A and B are shown apart, each in its own frame.
Chain A
Amino acid sequence: VKPYEREHLADPIMSFERDPVSGAYLDHVHESREGARGATGNVGGGCGCN
């Protein structure tokens, strides 16, 4: 995929983390009630500190 073919990929709606505050809060809501944790799809991140 050439750089000039990435117009669609650069659209904000294609971001995996469009709303970081909301996404982190929902991760918290889920992980506090579930046994599983980690690898929440936040690629590029450093940790999921459980």
Chain B
Amino acid sequence: MKAPKGCGPAIHKAQRPQLGALYAAAAALVGTAAKGGVLPDDRADLLYHSYSGGGVTINGTSLLVRKKVGDHVSLVGNWYTDSVSGASIDVVTQASPYKEKRSQGSLGVDLLLGKATYSAGYINGSEPDFRSRTAYASVSEDLFGDLTTITFGASRGWDKVGERGAPDFKATADRRNWSVGLSQVLTRNLLASLAVETSESEGYLQNPYRQARYLSGDPRGYSYEKEAYPHTRTGNAFAARAKYYLRWRAALDGNYRYYRDTWGIVAHTAELGYTLPAFHRWVFDAHARYYRQKQASFYADLFPYQGSQNFLARDRELAAFKELGLGFGASWELRPRHRGLLQKATFNLRYDNLRFKYDDFRDLRVQGAAAGTEPLYTLKANVLQLYVSAWF
């Protein structure tokens, strides 16, 4: 499909906002395994992942290796790749399909001294027109007879944003995060945790390819203009989580998160999960997740005229919507008869079905409707993970 008139480059990268999240997830991956006065197990995980929904397919792999060096140091490395193909609704309505590969590598170290674990690491992510570097550090300590673990963390990130078809365009963004976490043993069957995180971003925070639409004399009834985001964003998130051991050897867990930021987004996330070991070597999981958010203050599906506001956005990620996710997982454990290098391994499958229902993001693929009366967009996605974990 050709890019519409005035749309800029033919290749429209609708997935740009994923990058920050990608590196956040990576930081979580390499930065959270250490818990107070115990170093994490030596293990390796190889994951194949596939996301399919809204006309887009994203699949790839992730390899994590963690290994102790002596009694006080643990090293961890991760290599993540994915490949994006297809045409999301943004691409169909504004530009051309595209294919792209992305990769990210990270290295981290955990140092155990007494009851405290000090962690630090570095993450480097890149794709053809985007680069991100992130450094992080944290300290985690067990207190009160190892019933309480408290963690302080901080990170700093630097992004470089480019645009295909515009070699002179170069922009940067800085990210800073601070977090505090507290986990607590409440009873012999109940664990709970609290987490607070503040994030600050400054610089070019938008997607250079995305556009806002406004009412015009065009035969369609609307035209497009460049989006304009604020250059700063501060967000605060608070999460509470609990996990309960059931007497027939199963676990029930619940999680709630509240988020608010200076762009006007307010979000609630609630999750419920159930884990059941069965048949000696199997573990089954079932989980449900509900998410809803209020739109950013400068978001609109259709602006009244060109340049009607200082800040303009029509990104789905900033719209008001509700999301329901349902999933299940199964894991089979291999126990070698003679334990040499390999202590045990698990073969795992996890499937999630996600459904998004937008309150003010309209489906512009529908022809013949007056601007602003198109049906609201909905999205269904399937997420599949196949992975092998080995302890050594």
Interface residues of A (CB under 8 A from B): 1, 3, 5-9, 11, 13-14, 16-50
Contact = CB atoms under 8 A, between A and B. Distances in A.
Contacts of A46: 27, 31-32, 119-121, 136-138, 151, 153-155, 179
23 contacts: A9-B245, A11-B251, A13-B245, A14-B243, A14-B245, A21-B78, A29-B51, A29-B354, A31-B21, A32-B15, A34-B267, A35-B259, A36-B267, A37-B20, A38-B198, A38-B235, A39-B237, A40-B195, A43-B32, A44-B36, A46-B151, A49-B123, A50-B175
Given A8-B189, A50-B199, A45 B181 contact: yes
Contacts, number: 260
B27 A28 contact: no
Interface residues of B, number: 104
B136 A49 contact: yes
Contacts of B149: 43-44
A33 B259 contact: no
Give the residue among A3, A22, A32, A43 with the most B Cβ atoms within 10 A: A43
Given A35-B317, A35-B318, A50-B20, A45 B153 contact: yes
A37 to B, nearest CB: 6
Given A11-B245, A40-B28, A41-B241, A47 B179 contact: yes
Given A14-B243, A21-B47, A35 B29 contact: no
Tell me the dominant secondary structure on chain B's binding face.
Answer: strand
A28 B193 CA distance: 21
Interface in B239-264: 239, 241, 243, 245, 249-251, 253, 255, 257, 259, 261, 263
A3 to B, nearest CB: 8
Given A36-B267, A46-B155, 5 more contacts: A24-B26, A32-B18, A35-B293, A37-B21, A44-B181
A43 B110 CA distance: 15
A43 B350 contact: no
B28 A27 contact: yes
B182 interface: yes
A45 B18 contact: no
B182 A24 contact: no
B323 A34 contact: yes
Chain A interface, DSSP helix/strand/loop, else mixed: loop
Contacts of A37: 20-21, 24, 199, 235, 237, 259
Interface in B20-45: 20-29, 31-36, 45
A35 B235 CA distance: 10
B177 interface: yes
Contacts of A13: 245, 249-251, 275, 277, 283
A22 B183 CA distance: 21
Contacts of B175: 49-50
B251 A14 contact: yes
Given A8-B189, A25-B49, A48 B275 contact: no
Which of B120, B194, B197 has the largest number of chain A CB atoms within 10 A? B197
Contact of B389 (A5, A19, A38, A47): A19
Nearest to B269: A36
Given A11-B245, A19-B389, A23-B28, A43 B151 contact: yes
